[in-house]
Structure 1
Amino acid sequence: MATTNAKRRVRDNPRAATAILSVLGYVLVLGTFAGLLPIYPDLGRETVDLLSHAIAGVNTIALTALLLGWRWIRRGEVRKHRAAMLTAFALILVFLVLYLVKVGGGGEKSIAVTGPVYYAYLAMLAIHIVLSVVAVPVVLYAVVLGLTHTPTELRDTAHARVGRWAAGAWALSLALGIVTYLMLNHIYGVDEYMAALLPVLAVRR
């Protein structure tokens, strides 16, 4: 009964539910970045690398699910669309946990390159971050509507319109996140340990 009543309240007030969930998410992320949540273990370099690879893998699968969901809804395959989008959303929650553990544990890296590539990296990273922040309430609103309404009822809501914006911003953010991961971890990346050694190595050379 309590679950039914809660679902009914969310159904009747999707914007309020979205606002509450968005604020909770923002507080959790900002609190982690500010070091206000001492709940994360200190991480070693190997663990940071492992988390980075895991995050990229989760995001790649999430992007694939998202694109499949977009394709299926265009074909009118509602059940497949719903399954794909919920899978993508679940994976984003997994990403959030892994990312917060990484950031909260002090797992930071820097890119070892200058010039146009460096600025291109910063531009992509900035767009990725902005889209990630902006997409939170949009994605949550689409998900809340999808979970509390039947396919027929959704036709009378903003789900389709909001969903298009949510999927577009979400997909671009994920794609840019994957590209910046490749640049940082496999092409130009340098972790903090190596960054500290670079001046020493330069002097020795």
Structure 2
Amino acid sequence: MTDNKAGMKSLVKHLVEDHNYKRIMFVTGPENNCEAMERYEGYLEVLKENNIPVDENIIFNGNFNSHTGYRIMKEVILNDIRYDAAVFLNDDMALGALKAIDDLSQKHEIDTFLFKETFEVPKKSILLYAFKDGERVEIKEDEKVFDTKRLVPESFIPKDRRFYYLINPLYFEEDNFGFLCFELVNDDIIHFESLWAQISNILNGALILMEKDKIKK
């Protein structure tokens, strides 16, 4: 079961403490949705804990569909509303916002965080697999271990273009195996969800085989 408030607090705390963001735009879910309200409370608590004033101008009501995300981001861009990062409570709204950014402002920069189920984040991560254009990429020895808060090793981050990453923990039932970082292009969310489920199942199968081998030995 997901702890919605704790998960959101962890995300917003990361933005504040690791990135020094103060103006964090927040797009809520339906008013009668308990999970959305818990996440909103988590957002407000982190602001209070860090003495960051609540700015109603960068808090918007959402309803979990892409049209809402598009409309809100269009309003933000056209009215030149300043913010450091934007948090959406589901992928559909975030994807709508990304489309608005592409449509309305090629020069507009944004760090977009899609709220997914969270887990305790280690300081260091190990990159196990990397793929580009459907083919596996060789990982150099000095690239395997990196700071988790950077999401991927420095050499994997594009330097000449804007990009969007969608991050999701890899789970099988209650077991967490790490996380999947997926560069989002257009409406690739469908492919991401499918890939995420497949990788979680494959990793679980691999771990079961490893445990069996240990028992045999």
State TM-score, norm by structure 1: 0.24
Greater helix content: 1
Q: Which has the higher contact order (CA 8 A, sep 6+)?
A: 1
Higher strand share: 2
